[in-house]
């Protein structure tokens, strides 16, 4: 049968969309990143990692968010803790921000299906073999990604790139110097940064440029879609939490930035810089270090560090993804 014009247009649009796999720990901003990704690219699968909350909770959250997003892709659970446990033996979480469930304060449908497996690293490797030019968007601690790199020496080279939300060119959010995703598994971040992969990094210096506001919340609350209702709950929760933690009802939309760094790179200003993760410092463990000296211009590894984003355009794309 001959394809109709609209069918072939749809196929063309799909064919030209970038393919991504998302490694995440939902997480309020992870959830918004999943909703955004479902609209702006082809998501071939989702893997989950212990991070904002324990692995079981974040996997359940991912399944429920994907059900809301109507995105039927495989979900594989991965690591339930970092490569190296902290000295106190306690797996790090960000429940002080996201609550015990990782997604406190929101209503979501029951998961439409069960997880597809529990070998996230294996799934990431398979996906890299199956889809040429695949981007990996990593928006939680980098444990699964490090496992995949260690298991398959050409995994990193096979990918088009890895877009990471993590680190900072300025200060941290868990300690004075470290951002949560890197701090929660510094050894994994070190493996990933030294892997030779093409890396784009959105750190806190960048993600704090894309902030929610009372006005944005009002606009989202006025949209009559189930996605928008959920996003309004997410932002309402974050505003309450940020008011308690920082005295300001505004939340940085960290994880959606790492999706946009793949789908809309022209919104960003990147600088390719030598990068490293501090593993030993008493005050600096988990800090990302970028060498901007002219004398260091040939030092490796180098990654693309995001310094600026067109926040108005980024927020408009996030809003658009909440439409019916
Ligand atoms: C990062 O940590 C998590 O709490 C968020 O989901 C985001 O990925 C910000 O530091
Ligand atoms: Ca996250």
If you compute the radius of gyration of the chain from its CA atoms, what whole number of angstroms results?
Answer: 19
Is the CB of 315 within 6 Å of ligand 1?
Answer: no
HSE-CB of 321 using CA atoms within 13 angstroms: 25
Q: For 60-70, what is each residue's pLDDT tens digit?
A: 999 999 999 99
Quote the pLDDT of residue 324: 83
Task: Give the C-alpha separation, 182 to 168, whole Å.
Answer: 9
**Cα(101) to centroid(ligand 1), Å:** 15
Q: For 108-141, what is each residue's pLDDT tens digit?
A: 999 999 999 999 999 999 999 999 999 999 999 9
Helix (H) / strand (E) element for 61: namely: helix 55-69
The preferred substitution site among 28, 35, 140, 177 for testing ligand 1, maximizing ligand atoms within 8 Å of CB, is 140
Task: Give the C-alpha separation, 16 to 5, whole Å.
Answer: 17
Q: Which residues of the chain have pLDDT under 50?
A: 1-15
Cα 123 from chain centre: 17
* Structural domains of the chain in order of their starting residue, each with its CATH number: 2-322 (3.90.245.10)
Tokens 């995703």 correspond to 181
Quote the pLDDT of residue 7: 39
| Other Cβ atoms closer than 10 A to 289 | 15
Q: Is the backbone peptide bond immediately before 27 cis, with ω within 30 degrees of 0?
A: yes
Catalytic, 254? Answer: yes
């Amino acid at each position: 049968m001959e394809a109709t014009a609209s069918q072939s247009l749809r196929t063309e649009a799909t064919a030209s969309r970038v393919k991504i796999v998302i490694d995440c720990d939902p997480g309020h901003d992870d959830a918004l990143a999943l909703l955004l990704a479902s609209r702006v690219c082809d998501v071939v699968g989702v893997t989950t990692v212990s991070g904002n909350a324990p692995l079981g909770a974040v996997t359940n959250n991912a399944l429920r968010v994907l059900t809301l997003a109507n995105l039927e892709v495989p979900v594989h659970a991965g690591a339930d803790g970092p490569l190296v446990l902290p000295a106190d033996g306690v797996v790090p979480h960000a429940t002080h921000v996201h609550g015990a469930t990782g997604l406190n304060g929101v209503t979501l449908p029951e998961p439409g299906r069960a997880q597809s497996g529990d070998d996230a690293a294996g799934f990431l490797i398979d996906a890299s073999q199956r889809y040429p030019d695949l981007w990996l968007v990593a928006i939680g601690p980098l444990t699964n990604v490090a496992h995949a790199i260690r298991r398959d020496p050409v995994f990193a080279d096979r990918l088009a790139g890895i877009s990471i939300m993590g680190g900072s060119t300025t200060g941290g959010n868990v300690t004075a110097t470290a951002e949560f995703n890197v701090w929660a598994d510094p050894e994994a971040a070190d493996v990933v940064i030294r892997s030779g992969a093409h890396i784009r990094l959105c750190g806190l210096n960048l993600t704090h440029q894309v902030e929610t506001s009372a006005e944005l919340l009002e606009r989202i609350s006025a949209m009559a879609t189930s996605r928008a209702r959920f996003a309004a709950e997410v932002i309402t929760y974050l505003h309450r939490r940020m008011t308690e933690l920082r005295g300001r009802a505004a939340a940085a939309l960290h994880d959606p930035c790492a999706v946009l760094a793949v789908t809309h790179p022209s919104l960003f200003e990147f600088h390719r810089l030598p990068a490293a993760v501090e593993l030993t410092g008493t005050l600096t463990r988990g800090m990302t270090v970028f060498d901007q000296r002219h004398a260091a211009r040939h030092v490796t590894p180098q990654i693309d560090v995001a310094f600026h984003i067109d926040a108005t355009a980024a927020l408009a794309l996030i809003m658009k993804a909440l439409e019916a």
